[in-house]
Amino acid sequence: MRRATVALAAVLTAGLVALLAVGLAKGSSTVYTLGVVPQGGVVKLGPGERACQGAIDPPDDTTVERVGFYPLGGQPVAVEVRRAAGGAPLASGELAGGYASGSPPPLRRVGVGALRVRSPVAVCFRNRGRRQVEVWGTAGIASPSTSATVNGEPVGVDMGVTLERRHDRSLIALLPAMAERASVFHPTWVSPALYAVLAALVLLGVPALLVVAVRGGALADE
């Protein structure tokens, strides 16, 4: 009985340690994504033309250092982050020309400094080259709360846009933010603290119940 209990406890402990190690080793730089799959060149920009995607509403006080998107054409593209309500750019950067093309194009990341977002924003792309630029995305049903415009006119599509940090953060460090975002879609009594309690019950309570069950089974056999 004692050996079976100790063996099960050892296996469960090893599993928890492995889970913790994976959580610390794996990470992500993504702050917010529209979840748009790049299925085609949904926006085509001639020289000097501008396309914007908004409103994008990441969690308050999120720090954004890079914007990711899917351009095709090899032309330089100016990138700006603006308040969705309008006004001067809050942050900006530029994708240099000469980048390789592909189908679908790879995600290109542009540094925009360090912007702390406190309200919904729009991300804009302006073609600074002499030839056409395509920005890949999908139909406008992908993200109902946001949409693209070209030169201020709605076009009924969504560009693939990501907001990122410059460096990855571990999954363990991201857990509080994940719980907060998950609690947005909830009854009024659900909160991030409740998710923490549920996680503790799953990670600690279930293994404890297994140990008790094995111990009880061993006693019954005796």
Domain span holding position 157: 29-167
Tell me, yes or no, whether 149 and 188 share the same domain.
no
What is the helix (H) or strand (E) element at residue 149, kind and residue range?
Answer: strand 147-150
46 and 138 within one domain:
yes
- pLDDT grade for 170, boundaries at 50, 70 and 90: very low
pLDDT in tens, 107-165: 999 999 999 998 999 999 999 999 999 999 998 776 677 899 999 999 999 999 999 99
- For 13, the enclosing helix (H) or strand (E) is helix 2-25
Is residue 35 domain-shared with residue 23, that is, in the same domain? no
Clarify whether residues 79 and 126 are in a common domain. yes
Residues 113 and 183 in one domain: no
Residue 125: exposure state from Cβ atoms within 10 A (0-12, 13-18, ≥19): buried
pTM: 0.67
pLDDT higher than threshold 50 for residue 180: yes
Average pLDDT of the residues of the chain: 78
My answer on whether 47 and 115 are in the same domain is yes
Query: Are both 217 and 133 inside the same structural domain?
Result: no
**Whole-angstrom distance, CA of residue 126 vs CA of residue 129:** 9
Same domain, yes or no: 188 and 130: no
Residues 151 and 181 in one domain: no
> Are 84 and 160 part of one and the same domain?
yes
- Helical pair 2-25 and 171-182, crossing angle rounded to 10 deg: 90
Share of the chain above pLDDT 70, in %: 61
Question: Using 50, 70 and 90 to split pLDDT, how confident is the model at 25?
Answer: very low
Instruction: Quick: pLDDT tens for 37-49.
Output: 899 999 999 999 9
Based on the fold, state whether residues 157 and 189 are members of the same structural domain: no
- Identify the CATH number of the domain in which residue 129 sits: 2.60.120
Question: How many structural domains are present in the chain?
Answer: 2
Considering the domain architecture, whether residues 41 and 145 belong to the same structural domain is answered as yes
